[in-house]
Structure 1
Amino acid sequence: MALPPILLAATVPILVWSGWSPNDRGDWLLENALVAIALPLFVAGYRRLRFSTLSYLMLFVFFCLHEVGAHYTYSRVPYPQWLEWMPDLAWTGAGESRNHYDRVVHFAYGFFVMPAVFELFASRAALQGLWRWIVPVTFVMAHSMVYELVEWGAALVFGGDLGLTYLGTQGDEWDAQKDMLLATLGSVAMTCLLAAARWRGLRAAVADTWSQR
Protein backbone atom coordinates (compact mmCIF):
# COMPACT_ATOMS: atom_id res chain seq x y z
CA MET A 1 0.00 0.00 0.00
CA ALA A 2 1.29 3.48 -0.88
CA LEU A 3 2.51 5.66 1.96
CA PRO A 4 0.33 8.81 1.35
CA PRO A 5 -3.00 7.04 2.12
CA ILE A 6 -1.42 5.58 5.28
CA LEU A 7 -0.26 9.03 6.39
CA LEU A 8 -3.68 10.49 5.60
CA ALA A 9 -5.33 7.80 7.73
CA ALA A 10 -2.84 8.52 10.53
CA THR A 11 -3.93 12.15 10.64
CA VAL A 12 -7.31 11.09 12.06
CA PRO A 13 -6.12 9.75 15.45
CA ILE A 14 -3.64 12.62 15.73
CA LEU A 15 -6.42 15.16 15.19
CA VAL A 16 -8.61 13.30 17.68
CA TRP A 17 -5.83 13.37 20.28
CA SER A 18 -5.07 17.03 19.60
CA GLY A 19 -8.73 18.00 19.87
CA TRP A 20 -9.39 15.94 23.00
CA SER A 21 -9.52 18.40 25.89
CA PRO A 22 -7.03 20.93 24.51
CA ASN A 23 -5.79 23.66 26.81
CA ASP A 24 -7.80 26.25 24.88
CA ARG A 25 -10.63 25.09 22.62
CA GLY A 26 -10.93 28.40 20.80
CA ASP A 27 -7.21 28.52 20.04
CA TRP A 28 -7.31 24.88 18.88
CA LEU A 29 -10.04 25.73 16.38
CA LEU A 30 -8.08 28.72 15.06
CA GLU A 31 -4.85 26.72 14.81
CA ASN A 32 -6.61 24.03 12.79
CA ALA A 33 -8.47 26.35 10.43
CA LEU A 34 -5.60 26.15 7.93
CA VAL A 35 -5.38 22.37 8.42
CA ALA A 36 -9.07 22.14 7.53
CA ILE A 37 -8.26 23.94 4.26
CA ALA A 38 -4.96 22.24 3.42
CA LEU A 39 -5.92 18.59 3.94
CA PRO A 40 -8.91 18.62 1.52
CA LEU A 41 -6.74 20.42 -1.06
CA PHE A 42 -4.07 17.72 -0.82
CA VAL A 43 -6.69 14.99 -1.16
CA ALA A 44 -8.48 16.70 -4.07
CA GLY A 45 -5.21 17.34 -5.92
CA TYR A 46 -3.66 13.93 -5.29
CA ARG A 47 -4.40 12.61 -8.78
CA ARG A 48 -3.27 15.78 -10.57
CA LEU A 49 -0.13 16.50 -8.57
CA ARG A 50 1.56 13.79 -6.54
CA PHE A 51 4.53 14.61 -4.40
CA SER A 52 7.33 12.22 -3.53
CA THR A 53 7.19 9.90 -0.55
CA LEU A 54 9.83 12.08 1.14
CA SER A 55 7.68 15.20 0.73
CA TYR A 56 4.55 13.56 2.12
CA LEU A 57 6.50 12.16 5.06
CA MET A 58 8.02 15.54 5.89
CA LEU A 59 4.67 17.30 5.62
CA PHE A 60 3.25 14.70 8.00
CA VAL A 61 6.03 15.32 10.52
CA PHE A 62 5.28 19.04 10.40
CA PHE A 63 1.58 18.32 10.85
CA CYS A 64 2.38 16.31 14.01
CA LEU A 65 4.51 19.12 15.42
CA HIS A 66 1.72 21.60 14.71
CA GLU A 67 -0.93 19.45 16.38
CA VAL A 68 1.17 19.24 19.55
CA GLY A 69 1.24 23.04 19.60
CA ALA A 70 -2.48 23.22 18.92
CA HIS A 71 -3.30 20.80 21.75
CA TYR A 72 -1.26 22.51 24.45
CA THR A 73 -1.32 25.97 22.81
CA TYR A 74 2.11 26.92 21.54
CA SER A 75 3.06 29.00 24.55
CA ARG A 76 2.34 26.13 26.97
CA VAL A 77 3.90 23.08 25.32
CA PRO A 78 5.77 21.36 28.20
CA TYR A 79 8.83 20.38 26.16
CA PRO A 80 11.34 21.31 28.92
CA GLN A 81 9.77 18.64 31.15
CA TRP A 82 9.99 16.13 28.31
CA LEU A 83 13.73 16.76 28.05
CA GLU A 84 14.60 16.74 31.75
CA TRP A 85 16.29 13.36 31.35
CA MET A 86 18.84 15.05 29.05
CA PRO A 87 20.80 17.40 31.34
CA ASP A 88 22.96 18.64 28.47
CA LEU A 89 19.87 20.28 26.99
CA ALA A 90 19.23 22.61 29.89
CA TRP A 91 19.32 25.47 27.37
CA THR A 92 16.06 24.32 25.80
CA GLY A 93 13.95 26.54 28.01
CA ALA A 94 13.72 25.06 31.50
CA GLY A 95 13.65 27.93 33.92
CA GLU A 96 13.12 30.55 31.20
CA SER A 97 10.02 32.71 31.03
CA ARG A 98 9.43 32.23 27.31
CA ASN A 99 8.28 29.00 25.71
CA HIS A 100 10.25 28.49 22.49
CA TYR A 101 8.21 25.67 20.96
CA ASP A 102 6.67 28.05 18.44
CA ARG A 103 10.16 29.04 17.31
CA VAL A 104 10.97 25.38 16.67
CA VAL A 105 7.82 24.91 14.61
CA HIS A 106 8.43 28.01 12.50
CA PHE A 107 11.89 26.67 11.65
CA ALA A 108 10.34 23.25 11.03
CA TYR A 109 7.84 24.80 8.61
CA GLY A 110 10.59 26.18 6.41
CA PHE A 111 12.57 22.96 6.69
CA PHE A 112 9.90 20.31 6.17
CA VAL A 113 7.82 21.92 3.41
CA MET A 114 10.76 22.63 1.09
CA PRO A 115 10.85 19.25 -0.73
CA ALA A 116 7.19 19.66 -1.65
CA VAL A 117 7.78 23.26 -2.73
CA PHE A 118 10.63 22.24 -5.04
CA GLU A 119 8.46 19.52 -6.55
CA LEU A 120 5.57 21.96 -6.98
CA PHE A 121 7.73 24.37 -8.97
CA ALA A 122 9.33 21.55 -10.97
CA SER A 123 5.85 20.38 -11.98
CA ARG A 124 4.03 23.67 -12.50
CA ALA A 125 6.67 26.35 -13.11
CA ALA A 126 10.02 24.86 -14.08
CA LEU A 127 12.89 27.22 -13.30
CA GLN A 128 16.44 27.39 -14.61
CA GLY A 129 19.82 28.01 -13.01
CA LEU A 130 19.95 29.67 -9.62
CA TRP A 131 16.26 30.59 -9.86
CA ARG A 132 15.32 26.99 -9.17
CA TRP A 133 16.87 27.44 -5.70
CA ILE A 134 16.06 31.09 -5.01
CA VAL A 135 12.36 31.18 -5.91
CA PRO A 136 11.27 28.25 -3.67
CA VAL A 137 12.98 29.89 -0.69
CA THR A 138 11.27 33.23 -1.36
CA PHE A 139 8.00 31.32 -1.83
CA VAL A 140 8.30 29.97 1.71
CA MET A 141 9.31 33.42 2.98
CA ALA A 142 6.16 34.86 1.43
CA HIS A 143 4.03 32.13 3.01
CA SER A 144 5.56 32.89 6.39
CA MET A 145 4.76 36.58 5.99
CA VAL A 146 1.16 35.83 4.98
CA TYR A 147 0.75 33.59 8.02
CA GLU A 148 1.96 36.36 10.33
CA LEU A 149 -0.59 38.70 8.72
CA VAL A 150 -3.31 36.09 9.26
CA GLU A 151 -2.31 35.81 12.93
CA TRP A 152 -2.44 39.58 13.28
CA GLY A 153 -5.83 39.78 11.58
CA ALA A 154 -7.27 37.00 13.75
CA ALA A 155 -5.99 38.72 16.87
CA LEU A 156 -7.74 41.94 15.80
CA VAL A 157 -10.99 40.16 14.95
CA PHE A 158 -11.27 37.94 18.04
CA GLY A 159 -9.37 40.16 20.49
CA GLY A 160 -9.14 39.46 24.19
CA ASP A 161 -7.35 36.44 25.59
CA LEU A 162 -8.10 34.31 22.53
CA GLY A 163 -6.51 36.83 20.20
CA LEU A 164 -3.41 37.10 22.37
CA THR A 165 -3.14 33.33 22.73
CA TYR A 166 -3.38 32.77 18.98
CA LEU A 167 -0.94 35.58 18.23
CA GLY A 168 1.51 34.00 20.66
CA THR A 169 4.00 36.85 20.95
CA GLN A 170 4.53 36.17 24.67
CA GLY A 171 5.50 39.80 25.14
CA ASP A 172 8.11 39.87 22.37
CA GLU A 173 7.55 42.88 20.11
CA TRP A 174 9.78 41.31 17.45
CA ASP A 175 8.02 37.94 17.53
CA ALA A 176 6.69 38.09 13.95
CA GLN A 177 10.08 39.06 12.52
CA LYS A 178 11.83 36.28 14.43
CA ASP A 179 9.25 33.73 13.27
CA MET A 180 9.72 34.73 9.64
CA LEU A 181 13.49 34.59 10.03
CA LEU A 182 13.35 31.08 11.47
CA ALA A 183 11.10 29.87 8.65
CA THR A 184 13.59 31.37 6.19
CA LEU A 185 16.53 29.69 7.92
CA GLY A 186 14.69 26.38 7.87
CA SER A 187 14.01 26.68 4.14
CA VAL A 188 17.64 27.64 3.44
CA ALA A 189 18.90 24.69 5.51
CA MET A 190 16.78 22.21 3.56
CA THR A 191 17.70 23.86 0.27
CA CYS A 192 21.39 23.39 1.09
CA LEU A 193 20.77 19.72 1.90
CA LEU A 194 18.85 19.17 -1.33
CA ALA A 195 21.50 21.00 -3.35
CA ALA A 196 24.25 18.91 -1.74
CA ALA A 197 22.32 15.70 -2.47
CA ARG A 198 21.82 16.75 -6.08
CA TRP A 199 25.51 17.62 -6.42
CA ARG A 200 26.52 14.25 -5.01
CA GLY A 201 24.09 12.58 -7.40
CA LEU A 202 25.62 14.42 -10.36
CA ARG A 203 29.13 13.52 -9.25
CA ALA A 204 28.12 9.87 -8.90
CA ALA A 205 26.52 9.91 -12.36
CA VAL A 206 29.63 11.44 -13.93
CA ALA A 207 31.91 8.97 -12.16
CA ASP A 208 29.72 6.08 -13.35
CA THR A 209 29.82 7.40 -16.92
CA TRP A 210 33.60 7.66 -16.94
CA SER A 211 34.02 4.23 -15.35
CA GLN A 212 32.16 2.70 -18.32
CA ARG A 213 34.59 4.14 -20.87
Structure 2
Amino acid sequence: MPGRLPAVLLGLLLVAALVLGLDPYDRGDWLLENALVVIVLGVVLAGHRRRPLSGSAYVALFAFLLLHEVGAHYTYSQVPWAQWWQALTGVAPAPGRNHFDRLVHFAYGLLLAPAVADWTAARTPLRGLALRVVVVALLTTGSALYEMIEWVAAEVFAGDLGVAYLGTQGDVWDSQKDMVLALAGSLLWALLPKALSRA
Protein backbone atom coordinates (compact mmCIF):
# COMPACT_ATOMS: atom_id res chain seq x y z
CA MET A 1 0.00 0.00 0.00
CA PRO A 2 1.44 3.37 -0.96
CA GLY A 3 1.83 6.11 1.58
CA ARG A 4 2.98 6.41 5.11
CA LEU A 5 -0.26 5.34 6.80
CA PRO A 6 1.05 1.99 8.17
CA ALA A 7 4.18 3.64 9.62
CA VAL A 8 2.16 6.48 11.16
CA LEU A 9 -0.33 4.06 12.73
CA LEU A 10 2.47 1.84 14.02
CA GLY A 11 4.15 4.87 15.58
CA LEU A 12 0.92 5.98 17.23
CA LEU A 13 0.29 2.48 18.54
CA LEU A 14 3.79 2.23 20.00
CA VAL A 15 3.37 5.61 21.72
CA ALA A 16 -0.01 4.51 23.14
CA ALA A 17 1.46 1.20 24.30
CA LEU A 18 4.36 3.01 25.97
CA VAL A 19 2.09 5.49 27.75
CA LEU A 20 -0.40 2.80 28.82
CA GLY A 21 2.48 0.59 29.93
CA LEU A 22 4.01 3.14 32.31
CA ASP A 23 1.88 2.24 35.31
CA PRO A 24 -0.57 -0.52 34.43
CA TYR A 25 -3.06 -1.82 36.97
CA ASP A 26 -1.32 -5.23 36.97
CA ARG A 27 2.14 -5.47 35.38
CA GLY A 28 1.96 -9.27 34.94
CA ASP A 29 -1.39 -9.08 33.16
CA TRP A 30 -0.13 -6.20 31.01
CA LEU A 31 2.81 -8.35 29.88
CA LEU A 32 0.55 -11.32 29.09
CA GLU A 33 -1.92 -9.15 27.17
CA ASN A 34 0.88 -7.52 25.18
CA ALA A 35 2.23 -10.89 24.06
CA LEU A 36 -0.81 -10.88 21.73
CA VAL A 37 0.16 -7.46 20.35
CA VAL A 38 3.72 -8.61 19.65
CA ILE A 39 2.41 -11.65 17.76
CA VAL A 40 -0.10 -9.63 15.69
CA LEU A 41 2.45 -6.93 14.86
CA GLY A 42 5.02 -9.57 13.95
CA VAL A 43 2.63 -11.20 11.48
CA VAL A 44 1.56 -7.86 9.96
CA LEU A 45 5.13 -6.55 9.65
CA ALA A 46 6.36 -9.83 8.16
CA GLY A 47 3.81 -9.59 5.35
CA HIS A 48 3.79 -5.83 4.85
CA ARG A 49 6.52 -5.51 2.20
CA ARG A 50 5.41 -8.38 -0.04
CA ARG A 51 1.64 -8.12 0.38
CA PRO A 52 0.56 -4.94 2.14
CA LEU A 53 -2.95 -4.60 3.50
CA SER A 54 -5.45 -1.96 2.41
CA GLY A 55 -5.55 1.37 4.22
CA SER A 56 -8.91 0.51 5.80
CA ALA A 57 -7.46 -2.78 7.11
CA TYR A 58 -4.55 -0.96 8.75
CA VAL A 59 -6.89 1.60 10.34
CA ALA A 60 -9.26 -1.11 11.64
CA LEU A 61 -6.34 -3.16 13.01
CA PHE A 62 -4.96 -0.05 14.71
CA ALA A 63 -8.35 0.66 16.33
CA PHE A 64 -8.59 -2.92 17.62
CA LEU A 65 -5.06 -2.92 19.04
CA LEU A 66 -5.67 0.45 20.70
CA LEU A 67 -8.78 -0.93 22.44
CA HIS A 68 -6.71 -3.94 23.49
CA GLU A 69 -3.99 -1.67 24.92
CA VAL A 70 -6.60 0.11 27.05
CA GLY A 71 -7.81 -3.28 28.31
CA ALA A 72 -4.23 -4.36 29.01
CA HIS A 73 -3.53 -1.19 31.00
CA TYR A 74 -6.46 -1.59 33.37
CA THR A 75 -6.98 -5.35 33.05
CA TYR A 76 -10.17 -5.79 31.10
CA SER A 77 -12.42 -6.14 34.13
CA GLN A 78 -11.19 -2.85 35.65
CA VAL A 79 -11.54 -0.51 32.63
CA PRO A 80 -13.58 2.49 33.91
CA TRP A 81 -15.81 2.57 30.82
CA ALA A 82 -18.94 3.23 32.91
CA GLN A 83 -17.44 6.46 34.27
CA TRP A 84 -16.32 7.44 30.76
CA TRP A 85 -19.80 6.71 29.40
CA GLN A 86 -21.44 8.77 32.15
CA ALA A 87 -19.03 11.67 31.56
CA LEU A 88 -19.84 11.63 27.82
CA THR A 89 -23.59 11.10 28.00
CA GLY A 90 -24.65 12.10 31.50
CA VAL A 91 -26.28 8.67 31.83
CA ALA A 92 -24.98 6.12 34.31
CA PRO A 93 -24.98 2.54 32.98
CA ALA A 94 -26.64 -0.13 35.08
CA PRO A 95 -24.27 -1.40 37.77
CA GLY A 96 -22.82 -4.88 37.45
CA ARG A 97 -20.40 -6.63 35.15
CA ASN A 98 -17.74 -4.61 33.34
CA HIS A 99 -18.56 -5.12 29.65
CA PHE A 100 -15.43 -3.57 28.12
CA ASP A 101 -14.08 -7.02 27.25
CA ARG A 102 -17.34 -7.83 25.47
CA LEU A 103 -16.88 -4.72 23.33
CA VAL A 104 -13.34 -5.81 22.42
CA HIS A 105 -14.45 -9.34 21.47
CA PHE A 106 -17.08 -7.82 19.17
CA ALA A 107 -14.42 -5.44 17.81
CA TYR A 108 -12.14 -8.41 17.17
CA GLY A 109 -14.67 -9.83 14.71
CA LEU A 110 -15.51 -6.48 13.13
CA LEU A 111 -12.11 -4.78 13.03
CA LEU A 112 -9.84 -7.71 12.19
CA ALA A 113 -12.07 -8.81 9.30
CA PRO A 114 -10.63 -6.32 6.77
CA ALA A 115 -7.05 -7.48 7.46
CA VAL A 116 -8.03 -11.15 7.34
CA ALA A 117 -9.93 -10.53 4.08
CA ASP A 118 -6.94 -8.75 2.52
CA TRP A 119 -4.57 -11.48 3.67
CA THR A 120 -6.85 -14.26 2.39
CA ALA A 121 -7.61 -12.57 -0.94
CA ALA A 122 -3.88 -12.07 -1.59
CA ARG A 123 -3.17 -15.77 -1.10
CA THR A 124 -6.26 -17.49 -2.53
CA PRO A 125 -8.62 -17.10 -5.49
CA LEU A 126 -11.53 -16.48 -3.09
CA ARG A 127 -13.69 -13.42 -3.77
CA GLY A 128 -17.18 -12.18 -2.95
CA LEU A 129 -19.42 -14.35 -0.79
CA ALA A 130 -16.89 -17.20 -0.59
CA LEU A 131 -14.25 -14.81 0.78
CA ARG A 132 -16.68 -13.39 3.32
CA VAL A 133 -17.66 -16.88 4.54
CA VAL A 134 -14.00 -17.90 4.92
CA VAL A 135 -13.14 -14.68 6.78
CA VAL A 136 -16.02 -15.24 9.23
CA ALA A 137 -14.91 -18.87 9.71
CA LEU A 138 -11.27 -17.86 10.28
CA LEU A 139 -12.18 -15.20 12.82
CA THR A 140 -14.58 -17.51 14.65
CA THR A 141 -11.88 -20.18 14.79
CA GLY A 142 -9.37 -17.60 16.00
CA SER A 143 -11.77 -16.51 18.72
CA ALA A 144 -12.25 -20.08 19.93
CA LEU A 145 -8.48 -20.64 19.84
CA TYR A 146 -7.92 -17.50 21.90
CA GLU A 147 -10.40 -18.70 24.55
CA MET A 148 -8.45 -21.97 24.80
CA ILE A 149 -5.15 -20.08 25.10
CA GLU A 150 -6.70 -17.88 27.78
CA TRP A 151 -7.82 -20.98 29.71
CA VAL A 152 -4.35 -22.59 29.50
CA ALA A 153 -2.66 -19.33 30.54
CA ALA A 154 -5.02 -19.00 33.51
CA GLU A 155 -4.16 -22.57 34.56
CA VAL A 156 -0.42 -22.04 34.14
CA PHE A 157 -0.24 -18.69 35.91
CA ALA A 158 -3.03 -19.44 38.42
CA GLY A 159 -3.64 -17.12 41.37
CA ASP A 160 -4.47 -13.46 40.92
CA LEU A 161 -2.65 -13.18 37.58
CA GLY A 162 -4.60 -16.11 36.13
CA VAL A 163 -7.89 -14.63 37.33
CA ALA A 164 -7.00 -11.15 35.97
CA TYR A 165 -6.03 -12.59 32.59
CA LEU A 166 -9.08 -14.86 32.32
CA GLY A 167 -11.41 -12.02 33.30
CA THR A 168 -14.62 -14.06 33.53
CA GLN A 169 -15.94 -11.89 36.38
CA GLY A 170 -17.85 -14.87 37.74
CA ASP A 171 -19.68 -15.66 34.49
CA VAL A 172 -19.43 -19.41 33.77
CA TRP A 173 -20.49 -18.75 30.14
CA ASP A 174 -17.94 -15.98 29.58
CA SER A 175 -15.95 -17.81 26.89
CA GLN A 176 -19.05 -18.76 24.92
CA LYS A 177 -20.42 -15.19 25.06
CA ASP A 178 -17.05 -13.81 23.95
CA MET A 179 -17.01 -16.16 20.95
CA VAL A 180 -20.59 -15.24 20.00
CA LEU A 181 -19.68 -11.55 20.09
CA ALA A 182 -16.63 -12.12 17.89
CA LEU A 183 -18.86 -14.05 15.47
CA ALA A 184 -21.43 -11.21 15.55
CA GLY A 185 -18.73 -8.65 14.75
CA SER A 186 -17.42 -10.65 11.81
CA LEU A 187 -20.97 -11.26 10.53
CA LEU A 188 -21.67 -7.53 10.69
CA TRP A 189 -18.54 -6.94 8.59
CA ALA A 190 -19.67 -9.64 6.13
CA LEU A 191 -23.05 -7.93 5.72
CA LEU A 192 -21.56 -4.51 5.00
CA PRO A 193 -21.75 -3.31 1.41
CA LYS A 194 -18.72 -4.25 -0.68
CA ALA A 195 -17.45 -0.66 -0.72
CA LEU A 196 -17.17 -0.72 3.09
CA SER A 197 -16.00 -4.29 3.67
CA ARG A 198 -13.66 -4.44 0.61
CA ALA A 199 -14.49 -8.14 0.13
Question: Of 56, 62, 74, which residue of structure 2 is paired with 1:72?
Answer: 74
Post-superposition offset of 1:173:
0.3
The answer on 1:157 being equivalent to 2:156 is yes
The answer on 1:25 being equivalent to 2:24 is no
> Which structure would you say has the larger Rg?
1
C-alpha distance in structure 2 between counterparts of 1:40 and 1:136, whole Å: 20
Match in the other structure for 1:175? 174
Q: CA RMSD in A?
A: 1.7
Are the structure 2 counterparts of residues 173 and 2 from structure 1 closer, same or farther at C-alpha, using a change threshold of 3 Å? same
Q: Is the 8 A contact 2:190 2:197 kept in 1?
A: no
Task: Count how many residue pairs are aligned between Structure 1 and Structure 2.
Answer: 195
The answer on 1:113 being equivalent to 2:112 is yes
SS in 1 for 2:144: helix
Deviations 1:154-208 (A, max 9, x none): 0010001110110000000000000000000000111111447589xxxxxxxxx
State the TM-score, normalized to the length of structure 1.
0.86
Post-superposition offset of 1:143:
0.3
Match in the other structure for 1:13? 15
Task: Specify the code of the residue in structure 2 equivalent to 1:46.
Answer: H
Q: Which runs of 5+ in 1 are unaligned?
A: 200-213
SS in 2 for 1:141: helix
Match in the other structure for 2:52? 50
State the TM-score, normalized to the length of structure 2.
0.92
SS in 2 for 1:172: coil
Q: Which runs of 5+ in 2 are unaligned?
A: none
Q: What percentage of aligned pairs have identical amino acids?
A: 50
Question: Of 34, 37, 45, which residue of structure 2 is paired with 1:35?
Answer: 37
